[in-house]
Each structure stands twice: as structure tokens, then as C-alpha cells.
Chain A
């Protein structure tokens, strides 16, 4: 198929960017979206232009590096996938596709479609861990039984890949689904209880300091999340926060 791509080009963090149109042809429906971008970039390199910079790495939907706003939705129109797993069969011949970086004040653009998501790292550093040293003498793993349901729910929360689609989708650029998932993982497990109070207070404070917006429960994050992280995690974080504050 033949496509028109409208892509955000921005030289670096301080420059102004703009949308630029490109044409690509002979795109197979079996290609992934990023393979289509590879075709465009090969074309640009061969014609002496600078290829479009975009983040990507594992290309199997788990590293969370790829981050494109495609036709107004993070990771494009398909559900339950990252950009790298989005396939061209979701589009048709002659389509015009708009490709932008994930937008949020807390995700400044570095170049073209590449954004800086280290704000997520800093939120984790504020408390997204259990303080246990590596000794080799921690208690036997099975000495602490954990109900299957709690373990499974913790796992569901822990599948977050930190891609930032929740922020990109949210009209308020809120990071609550991401933070809620991390808070929930530890809140659901007995190991996380000791530091629960400080963890949620510190992580929320850091989140606010990074300049993310507030949650207005539109639910866009849950729909666009490639890993299907549930809104229940935000509710759980709210509870944990209230418990910790009172």
C-alpha cells in the first residue's frame, strides 16, 4: 500500500518543531509499524536526508521504549499493543497517518519523536522499591505464603512497561496509572507493607513535582495501555494515599 505520513520533526530539545509530510510506497500489510518507519528512514538516508529519530528497542512489546502518538492515539488504533507490535494491516492504501511524539510537560522532546521519560525513573527512585539488601540470607521464599489472588493481582499491576502511553493518552497528561500500578504491586504484597505509608506519599509527591496533570477519571489510560493495566490501580493508590495521610 501507499501512504502519506505526517511526522513531527524537531532538531533538538530547544528548537521549534513542525509537521512534515512524507510518502512511502509498497508497504506490506504484514509489516510492523516500525518496519514501515524503517522503510521511510532507509529512503531518507539514501536521498541524503536525516532519518526520523524514534525510540525503539526490543520490538516485541515489552521494553516500553517505543512511543508514538499515531493518528491521535498512543501506539495507534489497535488495542493491547505497543507501536512495535502495531501492524500495517490496521491501515489501508492511501491513508494519511499522523505521527507525533508522546506529549507532556514532564516528557520533553529530545529529537523528532524521541522524548525524555526519566521523570518516570525519578518517581520510582522516590519509593518504588522494597528496602532489602542482597545478602543471600533473606528468608526462604516459601516461608511467606501469598494468596494466589493477591499474587496474581500484584503481577497484573507489575506488567506495566513504563512506556508512558497513559500520560500521552490522558487529556491532562496525568501519570496516575503508571504510579498507581507501581504502588499497587507493593500494596498487594506483604513484603511491601512496611514501607507502604512513606512509599505512596513520596511517589505521589514526586509525580506532582514532575509536572504531570491530575487524574479526572476519563479512563483513556486504561483503554490505551498496551498491557491493560486497570483503573482499579488508581483507586487503590487513592486509598493507600488517604490511609497514609490520615
Chain B
């Protein structure tokens, strides 16, 4: 028996959550007033949790490193949010959403959690509409849906290409209401630098005021980490510049197990890199694959001519184009899940068919969608014998209405008009399915310490489907954590105010201060970014879209060596007691340098291909699926939960065996 207890309730899958809610302990409203909860991060998960906990009556202290909770990176999510509403009558149901999510995650997620997620998904839409989130509607005034990769129904709700923004502003408005009531105390421009444990329980945090540089102690009866993912370990990713793993990593070092760090999503539709100065990659919503067709030229001479600028993509005839996703996956075509689409792009580019100067780009073409919509519009408006220009104009207007802001963004960045010439795209690191291990209550292995949203590992298995991150963040924050945390806090009603003058707080604060002083006083030669870029290169080259034993072993030792050099030679200008962005980065990169090694170690341990984790040693050798990823359910149907032991390389593996009672494990086929 593993020391990991998922605390999954007994009973049939569909009844677990309801029965569980009926049985857990509750806290009397009068007692809630005496209980403090810390929430770190104000994205969809943290923001919604903070607002809901405050509504319930707890005293919430919320923290974000940005200047306002509204700027958390959930805001950048474009495409949409899934919910099993079945408004389109296309056969959707809670079970089907559950099934798609488990299958999409390549059977590496916990059944009970995913079912609960699917169950509360419909509530999220109701809640958000009640808050005034302006979802897209059809002409009858009802909510509109679109389709996303890896599924066969339309269950994605959206607000133009800014769904994350609108949902986050909804959660932010709910927070504002509680801030105005005094139930949330908001700490903007604060960064959590450590968690404080008293008698084994999480009792507070050490945070740095990013304006004054002051190190502050904050106490609470429970601590909730909602600090997002660790995609920036790759340096270049679609994450925000400030997105970091520090909160998650610090709690890992204080006893929270870290699960499946190697499960990372490389998103297929991002704007390709243009040079070494690049600071981040820009995602183009997956929804574009509803209407865009992905291709590269069939002939190598065309590829070369394009790279030299002698040939335009629009000049290549249909028969000379390789619509490789439609060719390889006829059932799902351009709407295969993200991991499959990304690997297919890499395969073509590795074979030499990449269409830009770096050889790392494929086309996403809207020409046939514009044509199709144009013809449809001409019919609708009774325009007979419409000219080709008219059809293109009508079609482009529809495409503009659907994706206008994305097209504009592309044009501003690349300086090409995607209505006229195909977009160029390439995969980029986007989301991390791995994260802090949590049980059914979303509690980590440290009592009183919770982890929600992207920061935890729970619901997406080895690969996340499109429009599911927003769903999970809000499900955790609005509808799961506020219940489950009550079960723990019910035992805290007699605890009373928690002092920050205890030896534990003093020691944690000293540790934080010592590290900051080290950075300020270390007169090294290299900037923080120098190390971050180097780490990113190791990660992308050896722990990227395809991984093998040799590369992973090398990555582990290279990261370790880089980390040692970092601690000798890093240079941080300025002082500790002032706003100092370089100092902030130094702390974050220090944590990435540790996390990266554990990441590689986890990838090395998992000798199977599943979801976003592709091991070159584990592929199908023959049959219809030849060359596709090969999962190994006999040996690897478990969650890898790592326990910190002083060095990332020494981390100890604990396995949570995954049981699938309601779903049969099958090979994931999108053929």
C-alpha cells in the first residue's frame, strides 16, 4: 500500500461527489468569521476560490505578483470553456465529457476527479452568465457553442477569442465585491516565497512586497496555492513573463509531493519563433483549427523555393500540398488533440518540410473556409453568379467575425495578412498537466495545504483537451475547494488566531531573507536571463516534444551543472529593499533550475509514450497505428508523485495506482 491516499469516496462514480458533499463536515457561519484562508494566485482557480470562500464567510487573504488580480495569465486563454450542457442536442452528457477528458488525457488521470469535473461543468456556465460574462450568443439569444480538438460534439462556450479574459473578469468582479465588503484582503504586487508549517500543518506564508522589498509574514488556518503552471521552465512558452513555479516548488520542498512533472502540453498553433531575442511565444487559439487546414508542401523543391522567397504558398497547387493531419487522421482531421497535432508538425519539420527560414513552421490555411463561408453567404443573400472576389469578401467577413482579433494579432506580430496568405504556426510549450499532487479534496500531502487549478496535477492526465483548463480552474475554485476545505477547517474552529511570532515563522523568514541577500551580494558575471535561456534550451532540445533515455540522462546532469554555475555566477543588480525585477526573476529561475531536473527525471522514469510525454523508445512498430505513441498500461498506469529529499535528483518516487472502473483502457485512436 502506497503512502498516498487519494481519499476517493466509495460508491458508484456518478454518485460519489453528491454523497461525499452530503457527508463532509461543515463550518457554522459564526465560526467561519474566525477562520483565515490564504489564497496564492488570482487566476481563474485562485480568483474564484477567493471570492467563493469570502462569500461563505471566511476571512480571505489573496496574493498576486501582478499589479491587479485581473492580470493573472488565465486572462490570455482564448478559445473557450467546455461544459456538458448539451445545448446543441448533439448527444453530449456528463459521462461523455468525462469520457473524452479521460481518453484525451491518455488514461493517466484519476477517474473520480474527472467525473466530478464534468459534473460541475454545467454549473460554471450558469454561474458565469449570472455574473454577466458576455458569452457569444446566436440570433435567438441563446448561448452559442463551438467544437474543439479531440471531441465529436460542440460543447465549448466562448466569448470571441477572449474567453479566458471574460471568465477571469467575472471571477475578478466577484472578488471585487468581497474586497469592498472587507472579506478579502488583497495583496497586489506580492510574491509568496515560502510556506510556513506549524506542527506539520500549513499555517501561513512568507511573502515579499514587490514595491518596497519588505519581507512579510502572513498566517492563516489553511493555505491554498493557485499559482498556475511551470511552462516557463522552457524559457520560451506561451505563459506570461512572470508565470513561475516558485509557490508550487516551495511547497514541494516543504513536503508536498510533486506529480507527473513530465506531462507538458506543447500547443500546436503558436506563432513561430523569429529570432534569438524572442522573449515569449504567442498562442493562436486552437479554435482556428475548426476552419483552418494544416499543410506543408509535398515537394522539397517547393519548400526550398518558399524559404528563399521565390515562391508564395498561395502559388502551390492543391495536389502539391500535403494536408498531413487529414491524411494521417481521417476521422478527426485537423481537430486531433493537441499532442497529436504537435508531434505531427514536428515530424514534418524534422523531415525537412518546415516552411520558414528556421525550418520550424507549417501552414494553417483559411482559404477553403473563406470559400465555403463565402458561397454559403452568397446563397443566403440571394446573390446569384457571385464573382470570386465577392465570395472571398463575404467569406472573409465571416472568418473575421469568428477570429478577427486573432488574425489582427497575427498580422501585428508577423506583418503578413492571414486573410490572403496562410498563417505560419509551430508548436510551443503551453500548459503543464503535471503539478502538485492532491487528493480528492484537492489537499496536498501537507495537511491544510491545498493546490488548485493548473498548479495541481489532478484532472488532465497526460494531455489536456482544448477548453478544459478554464473548466478545471473554475470548477476547483467555485465548486470543489469551497466544499472540501470546509471538511478540514471544521476541525480548526477552536484554533484561534495564528501568531506569526512563532519560531517556525521566524525561521522561514530568515531562510527567505538569506537567499535574497545572497543574490544581492553575489557579484557574478551572468544575468538571470542568461541562465534561464540556457535551461530553456536544454529542456526544449532534450525534454521537449520527443524524449529518449540518452537525452534525458544528459539533461539531468546538464541542468544540475547549470544550477551549480548559477549559484556561483549569477549577477543581480540593485538592492533587496526596493522594487527589483531582476531579483524577482533570480528567485524564480533558481526554482526552475531545480524543477527542470525533476522534470527530466520523471520523464526518464516513464518509459512509455502517453499524451504529451512521447518516448522515442515506445512507439507502435506495425499495424494501422505504426509510428504512433505506444502506452504501457501494465507498468505505467500510475501517477508519479515525487517526494523532495534535498536534491531534485534524489527525489523519491511514490506511485498512486490508477484504477479505471468505468472506462475501458483503449489505445487512443484518432484515425
Contact = CB atoms under 8 A, between A and B. Distances in A.
Chains A and B in contact, CB within 8 Å: yes
A11 B211 CA distance: 11
A130 B71 contact: no
17 contacts: A35-B279, A62-B165, A65-B66, A81-B412, A124-B172, A134-B482, A136-B127, A138-B130, A141-B126, A147-B141, A148-B141, A151-B141, A159-B162, A185-B132, A191-B129, A191-B130, A191-B132
Nearest to B572: A45
Given A30-B274, A130-B132, A111 B240 contact: no
Given A134-B52, A134-B55, A59 B279 contact: yes
Contacts of A132: 127, 130-131, 174
Contact of A145 (B131, B140, B282): B140
A154 B166 CA distance: 11
Interface in B111-145: 120, 123, 125-132, 134-143
6 A-B pairs with least C-beta separation: A145-B141, A129-B173, A155-B134, A141-B129, A136-B123, A154-B134
B159 A60 contact: no
**Interface range, A side:** 35 or more
Interface of A: 11-12, 28, 30-32, 34-35, 38-39, 42, 44-46, 48-51, 53, 55-65, 78, 80-81, 85, 87, 89, 110-111, 114, 116-118, 120-121, 124-126, 128-136, 138-142, 144-148, 151-152, 154-155, 158-159, 161-162, 185-186, 189, 191-192
Given A59-B240, A87-B412, A53 B581 contact: yes
B75 A142 contact: no
A72 B578 CA distance: 28
Given A134-B174, A138-B127, A63 B413 contact: no
A87 B415 contact: yes
Given A121-B70, A152-B134, A152-B137, 10 more contacts: A31-B277, A34-B279, A39-B277, A51-B582, A57-B241, A80-B408, A120-B68, A138-B126, A144-B129, A145-B137
Contacts of A131: 177
Contacts of B188: 118, 121
A32 B274 CA distance: 11
Contacts of A32: 279, 413
Contacts of A133: 55
Interface in B156-185: 159-160, 162, 165-166, 169, 172-174, 176-177, 179-180
B576 to A, nearest CB: 13
A128 B85 contact: no
Contacts of A192: 132
B463 to A, nearest CB: 23
A132 B178 CA distance: 11
A28 B277 contact: yes
Nearest to B142: A142
B242 interface: yes
Given A134-B48, A148-B141, A186-B132, A57 B71 contact: yes
Interface in B269-302: 274-275, 277-280, 282-283
Decide if the interface of chain A is mainly helix, strand, loop or mixed: loop
B67 A65 contact: yes
B415 to A, nearest CB: 6
A130 to B, nearest CB: 5
A45 B571 contact: yes
B76 A110 contact: no
A169 B277 CA distance: 30
B278 A125 contact: no
Contact of A60 (B130, B142, B177, B282): B282
A59 B241 contact: yes
B277 A38 contact: yes
Nearest to A130: B132
Interface string B554-566: 0000000000000
Contact of A155 (B52, B123, B159, B280): B159
B387 to A, nearest CB: 29
A129 B170 CA distance: 8
A61 B411 CA distance: 13
Interface string B514-556: 0000000000000101000000000000000000000000000
B658 interface: no
A58 B140 contact: no
A95 B267 CA distance: 38
Nearest to B65: A57
B131 A65 contact: no
A128 to B, nearest CB: 6
Given A87-B415, A110-B579, A58 B173 contact: no
A30 B414 CA distance: 8
A124 B71 CA distance: 14
Contact of B578 (A12, A120, A125, A185): A12
A134 B128 CA distance: 9
A89 B416 CA distance: 13
Contacts of B275: 28, 30-31
